[in-house]
Structure 1
Amino acid sequence: MFDLPPPEPHFEIVVASRGMSKGLAQTEGVQFVPKGFLQIGAVQIGGQWKNVTSTTAAGEAAVFANASRTVGGFQLSLGAAYKFQTAVRGPTDSDSFEFSGSVGRKFGKLGTKVSVIYSPNDLGSARRSVYFEGGPTLDLSKTTRIFANVGHRDRIGGFDYTSFNAGLSTVVAKRLTLEARYYDTARSHLDKAYRGRAVLAARLSF
């Protein structure tokens, strides 16, 4: 028999002035993301939902499993998710699988992280999608840090683009984190989803 630790239930809700995913805007206004999961040792199993602004659906849900581990000072994580649109309007490719991985390392107050997100058949008209992102973080205090990231997305059936974001996050209470971040891409002329914007977000965890 495996001696597994008891599962710990967790719930969080994120409210953002604009929904963002892989450097692109997902909403024209506020986005709400409720998320619940069970923590079983180094493994998380759960689900989430978020509203989106789209001609084909009003929301996007996902069920996921993530695992993390520290090896030789490096923080490693792997994840898999099944995503599907909700309140679908008309014919569309409304579900997909997504796989992710990341490697991070801390050097005192300075940290760095590189991540990749892969989908063999993304939502909507896009097919294969690979998104790489990485950058440094700097702890200004025990509760506040600044960060910057550069990313690139390669897609079949969609535009490729390079993205950038930078900002600050701070823990203002035991369960509440606030974040301010600026996003932009190198292809702002394509569509308003690719344009630069400042986003404010709050995460409440239970």
Structure 2
Amino acid sequence: MKTLLIKLLAIITFCVGASFAMADEASDLHGLQTRWAEIKYNTAAAEKEKAFLALIGDAEKLSAAHQSAPFLIWEGIIRSTYAGVKGGLGALDQVKHAKKLFEQSIALQPDALNGAAYTSLGSLYYQVPGWPVGFGDDKKANEMLLKGLSYNPDGIDSNYFYGDYLLDQKQYKKAVVALEKALKAPARPGRESADAGRRAEASAALAKAQKH
């Protein structure tokens, strides 16, 4: 009886410890998401670069601590967003690093965050210059973005980036469909700032597509 009680207590302790670990991971991830949205959409342009650079440092530490696909994805998102703010050839190292992080996430857990690594990787492929400057590749972009949509067909990000890619490819009618779907995507609890910012981007892209 005593042995059984000890085993039960051990199981309970393990379960409680695992629950706390999961809660910490969720809290840490939400913190990165919230700070990213605040910097991207609500921070003055002159302050964005410094703010994103600091956030990269925190994301890198959390990726090392948790060693899970969602943190690899978010470190990659933060690095690639920082690269967009920084601009120029100096940003290329950041997008290359982000690409590796997305690929590592896919190898570890392809369906993490509803396939966000595929969508993020696809967005890099169509926005980064091609050879010999960078690794940009429109064919791979299409492949990755469609893969992201297969995991998250109704998501705001998956539809926005596919629509923006189609706009970049001058496929205006298809772009309109994807961007309208992005604007109809369900709200994400706790991600209000990110949703508002992305909807504004989708609306601007939709207006461009509709002109054609």
Give 1 or 2: higher strand fraction.
1
Fold match by TM threshold 0.5: no
- TM-score when normalising by structure 1: 0.26
Q: Which has the larger radius of gyration?
A: 2
